[in-house]
Amino acid sequence: MTLLARLEALESKVNKNSYNSSKPPSTDGLAKKTSSLRESSGKPPGGQAGHKGSTLKQAMQPTEHIDYPLPGQCERCHHELPLHDALVGERRQVVDVPVAAFDVVEQRTLSLRCQCGQLHTSAVPASVTEPA
């Protein structure tokens, strides 16, 4: 190969980019030709002020309740707890989509104060809160 032929081969190699050859754009280097034709609206990116968002609301009537149980007796004085007086604490609704309709299971934690003043609160099991 002559020097001139080698020079031409090298020059053609250098002048190739993703626009005029099959070279990928990642080999074009830092000088990119691309620029968006879109003109700026002057607004900040993302949701605009005044836009009414939509969030999944809790259903008024759950199909089913799951109450996470309180202990049967006080953990301090060991007095039997009047469980029917328990108040609903945290509510979380899990929406399941069966074949035909929605099934809404409302999971509730309970809280109850013993006669001695000790407050008991049931917890959502870790197996429920942790992603499978």
Contact residues for Zn ion, defined by CB under 5 A: 74, 76-77, 79, 114, 116, 118
Contact 93, 104 (CB under 8 A): yes
CA-wise closest residue to 75 among 108, 110, 113: 113
Minimum CB distance to Zn ion smaller for 31 or for 119: 119
Contact 119, 111 (CB under 8 A): yes
Residue 23 corresponds to which tokens in the numbers above? 């070279």
CB of 116 to Zn ion, least distance (A): 3
CB of 80 to Zn ion, least distance (A): 10
Minimum CB distance to Zn ion smaller for 78 or for 91: 78
Phi-psi region of 117 (alpha: psi -120 to 50; beta: other; left: phi over 0): left
CB of 64 to Zn ion, least distance (A): 31
Minimum CB distance to Zn ion smaller for 108 or for 120: 120
**Which residue's CB comes closest to Zn ion?**
74
